[in-house]
Amino acid sequence: SDCLIALDADTGKLKWYFQFTPHDVHDWDATEVPVLINADFRGQPRKLLLFPNRNAFYYVLDRTTGQFLLGKPYAKQTWAKGLDDSGRPIRLPGTFPTVEGTPVWPSVAGANNWYSPSYSPDTKFLYVATREAGAIYYFGQADFKPGEQFNGGGFRSIPGEEEWGAIRAYKPTTGEVAWEYKLFSPPYAGVLSTAGNLVFGATNEGQILALNAATGKPLWRFQGGGTVRSNPMSYMSDGKQYVAMTLGNSLYVFHLQ
């Protein structure tokens, strides 16, 4: 249903919900990670929820009520003119799947996916591993057979498109880009920001990166030789800080010095 829901922790009752992509025909389910911060929004202190959605729009909600506060594209998108005052998309014609196929941005993997963004209370930036890619969406006649996979449509890559990605720092209350570190291909790895002014991320080409959290300047990298599809984490042991990340079927651990 492409919704974010808030439940009462004591009773399990629904407190509010927000639907990002009504009548989703591109598989942009809302599997992304919400980020909670307290900040001034348009001059008022608010409890905010930040949500860079798979559909390529960035949303800011009031997390106590679910009220829509802000929405704007944070990656290339061609399916909506924008969002109305309630946060519902204003769809563009000619963007639904067809038998021949319809090119639409973002791709089925979205501008963001299941992996984690990160917020730094020091820089006051939201860091997102952002995907810049489209897809050709199509449907066809599929006969249902019990016990067999049933798909009425699908997607394929856009011929000649140069897909790419970036680790971006966004200003959370406006969605503006503060800095960008470009990647060769759309990432499938999350990011981690630390109190030491670092942002860790990774690439499909096997690199684990450390960037300056304030500027995006690359500071360190490690080539692991395989696609990274995980989130970085940090922990303390015996007074030392470590950063760990899985790469392929291996776990890599680094000591910060």
Confidence label for 167 from pLDDT (cuts 50, 70 and 90)? very high
Lowest mean pLDDT among 30-34, 132-136, 143-147, 165-169: 143-147
Mean pLDDT computed over 113-139: 98
Q: Is 84 a catalytic residue?
A: no
Q: Would you say residue 173 has pLDDT above 90?
A: yes
Q: Which of 8, 27, 84, 85 is catalytic?
A: 27
Confidence label for 127 from pLDDT (cuts 50, 70 and 90)? very high
Mean per-residue pLDDT over the chain, rounded: 96
Confidence label for 226 from pLDDT (cuts 50, 70 and 90)? confident
Confidence label for 80 from pLDDT (cuts 50, 70 and 90)? very high
pLDDT at 244: 96
Lowest mean pLDDT among 8-12, 25-29, 103-107, 143-147: 143-147
Q: Would you say residue 24 has pLDDT above 90?
A: yes
Q: Would you say residue 16 has pLDDT above 80?
A: yes
- DSSP symbols for the chain: --EEEEE-TTT--EEEEEESSTT-SS-----SPPEEEEEEETTEEEEEEEEE-TTSEEEEEETTT--EEEEEESS---SEEEE-TTS-EEEPTT-S-BSS-EEESS-TT-SS-SS--EEETTTTEEEEEEEE--EEEEE------TTS---SEEEEPPTT---EEEEEEE-TTT--EEEEEEESS------EE-TTSEEEEE-TTSEEEEEETTT--EEEEEE-SS---S--EEEEETTEEEEEEEETTEEEEEE--
3-255: CATH, from 1.20.120.530, 2.20.130.10, 2.140.10.10, 3.40.50.300:
2.140.10.10
Q: Would you say residue 225 has pLDDT above 90?
A: no
pLDDT at 207: 95
How much of the chain exceeds pLDDT 70, in percent? 100
